[in-house]
Structure 1
Amino acid sequence: MSKSGQPLAVIDVNAAGCCAPLAESRIPSEAAGTLAQAFKALGDPIRLQLMSMIASAPGGEICVCDLTPAFEISGPTISHHLKVLKESGLVTAERRASWVYYRARPALLRQLSALLDVDD
């Protein structure tokens, strides 16, 4: 999350030098802040599992009601982890009646992937 309390924006993948692999060029400072926040969010095992469930959900979205039972932790703890994923820009959330549905933001996932891409 940015200091203003707003979710971090996804960097323009078409911008010059935005997402070149680490082994090819230095990452620009504005991109580093956003991408580091996303990596930090994924650094927790529960959040990494949640992100995997969201990104692989049929139809591209999943209800919190399907995420919570998959873990042996409390609902409020799941909500906290989902909030961190949302604030880091990795997912979006949409409330429908009493449930919230989550979707991955593929552009940011592609940026993270591109950054770590290295040739053998």
Structure 2
Amino acid sequence: MIDLTIENQRYKALDETEFAEYQNLKAQVAKDRLGLNGVWSLRKTYKYLNRSYKFMISMILSPAGQALLTDSIIKPDVPGSQYQVRINQFLAIWDKHGAELIEAARREQRILYP
């Protein structure tokens, strides 16, 4: 028997299936605390991805990035203000096309930041 504690509530898991359910519930609670929904700033996004600001701007401004990220990136209304990112859509695109976006950003980074 395994003692479990989720948000100050105690549970006892009797077998492996209940323990797997506990792991799923624990992952969901952690995901909710992280806040992987809504709109994030570009800074929070590139820190989450463990990338640099130059990389993110290169990725957004590359032709492949513009084609893939049109719905997930909110361009600033006023020049000089920050980009906003719809994080759910962005992470779904990142999971599917991450390698393509990285290559596009590397090509564009040489042009933007020689």
Same fold (TM over 0.5): no
Which is bigger in relative contact order (C-alpha 8 A, separation at least 6)?
1
Looking at secondary structure, tell me which structure has more helix per residue: 2
Larger radius of gyration: 2
Q: TM-score, normalised by structure 2?
A: 0.31
